[in-house]
Homo-oligomer: A and B are copies of this chain.
Amino acid sequence: MTQAAPLGKIESNARHMPCHACVLRGLEKFRDFTPRELDFISGFKVNELHLPPGSTILEEQRHSAHLYTILGGWAFRYKLLEDGRRQILNFVLPGDLLGLQGSLMGEMQHSVEALTAVRLCVFERERLSELYRQFPSLAFDITWLAAREERMLDEHLLSVGRRSAIERAAYLLVFLFDRARSLQTAETGRILLPISQQHVADTLGLSIVHTNKTLRKLAERGLIRWQGRACDVLDEQGLRTISAWHDTASMNRPFI
């Protein structure tokens, strides 16, 4: 999960890998598509983008002509207050859709930044209505993804609004660990969350100092370890206990 950070800009309009061969298709997490669906999606895809860590993928108040699916790497959605306070809204992992809000309502209401090097599948916003007309099943999937995002936000809001600092931190880390694991393939090694404590702070709505002290406590109890600029989850169950996590039955998900 923690790829080495490529340098400079990699804008390579890399070879257009056909969707049938998409790496993500193989993961059991994703639902199977029919050949017809795959053909349409292949045509829907206009490009494949590679961006280095720190790149701005989408920017608040901008109109974006595109929709993206993340193929590889991590990113995060965030909003800023005028004086610079930043709130991270959610993290974006492979299979997630980006830019739907902007596509439906014009202007983006949040920004998205790459956390690691990122591979994106680019879709033409214009053809979204065509997708709705011709492939109800895919339209349904898009709604499903939107509902899933909403569910994550609900949970996150509960966390920031009502959990204590240590509960929040524990919750966030298992949440991310879980998401990362659900995308794991055979070769994926140890799962490291590619985030800094500043990211954690901005996600939890805490100051960086207090975040550090909180994470320190989790580390002292042997639940996590800070590795370079990533977090290593050592005791998932321990974190769950602290955060009062309640298991959500997971089911196969679509992605386009």
Contact = CB atoms under 8 A, between A and B. Distances in A.
The interface centre, meaning the residue of A83, A110, A140, A244 with most chain B CB atoms within 10 A of its CB, is: A140
Contacts of A147: 100-101, 104-105, 146
Interface string A63-86: 000000000000001010111011
Given A81-B244, A109-B151, A110-B154, 6 more contacts: A77-B154, A83-B244, A85-B163, A87-B158, A105-B251, A129-B136
25 contacts: A81-B162, A82-B246, A85-B162, A87-B161, A104-B143, A104-B144, A105-B151, A105-B251, A106-B251, A109-B151, A109-B154, A109-B155, A110-B154, A132-B139, A136-B139, A139-B143, A142-B143, A143-B146, A146-B150, A149-B150, A150-B150, A153-B157, A160-B160, A160-B161, A161-B205
Contact of A101 (B77, B89, B151): B151
A154 B152 CA distance: 11
A248 interface: yes
A7 interface: no
Interface on chain A toward B: helix, strand, loop, or mixed SS?
helix
Contact of A154 (B79, B129, B160, B244): B79
Nearest to A142: B143
A156 interface: yes
Interface string A83-126: 10111010000000000110011110110000000000000000
Interface string A33-49: 00000000000000000
A249 interface: yes
A148 interface: yes
A85 B143 CA distance: 30
Nearest to A144: B104
Contacts of A156: 157
B142 A79 contact: no
A204 interface: yes
Contacts of A246: 82
A162 B104 contact: no
Interface string A213-251: 000000000000000000000000000000010101101
Contacts of A162: 81, 85-87, 205
